[in-house]
Amino acid sequence: MSRPKVGFARRLRRDSTEAEKRLWRYLRDRGLCGAKFRRQHPVGRYVADFACPEHRLVVELDGGQHAQQRRSDTIREHELRRHGYRVLRFWDNEALAQTQAVLAAIREALLSSPQPSPQRGEGEERKAICPSMPSPLNGRGEGEGEP
């Protein structure tokens, strides 16, 4: 990964939106189905909002500006898919107001992906953690719909 891209990804992490911060509380530290997500992760020439390389899954959160840039989003999605990733896209307001529904969609995508090879017992841990959804008070932040 080139140095400029690393600096850009770091800046994006530092300047996260409220929607990104909320979703990250649930995805970080293998918090959803034991899957390791990375925040602002470079994939090809783009930086994905959230990426889970072991499941080849990217989660993108879009603000209002994306309504006008559908063509560039389509090109971006094609590039991410070319690198072998499936892409889930949500609006920022969905991540803020319907966090559990967004997490359920991500969970479903993780469950429908091929099982990663078990390392350090991760395969068994995934089966144990994934059947239930994380609590809105998961020890990481606010409840559903709260700031």
Domain count, the chain: 1
- Tell me the HSE value of 12 on the side-chain side, using a 13 A CA sphere: 18
120 part of a folded domain: yes
Q: How many CB atoms are closer than 10 A to CB 25?
A: 17
DSSP 141: S
Over range 57-80, report the average pLDDT: 84
- pLDDT tens, position by position, 85-138: 999 999 999 999 999 999 999 999 999 977 655 554 444 444 434 655 545 444
CATH assignment at residue 84: 3.40.960.10
| Global model pTM greater than 0.85 | no
Q: Which residues pair with 38 in a beta bridge?
A: 51
29 part of a folded domain: yes
Domain range enclosing 14: 3-129
DSSP 147: -
137 part of a folded domain: no
Q: How many CB atoms are closer than 10 A to CB 70?
A: 10
Report phi then psi at 64, rounded to 5: -60, -30
140 part of a folded domain: no
Cβ atoms of 6 and 15 within 8 Å: the answer is no
Look at residue 82 and tell me whether its pLDDT is greater than 60. Answer: yes
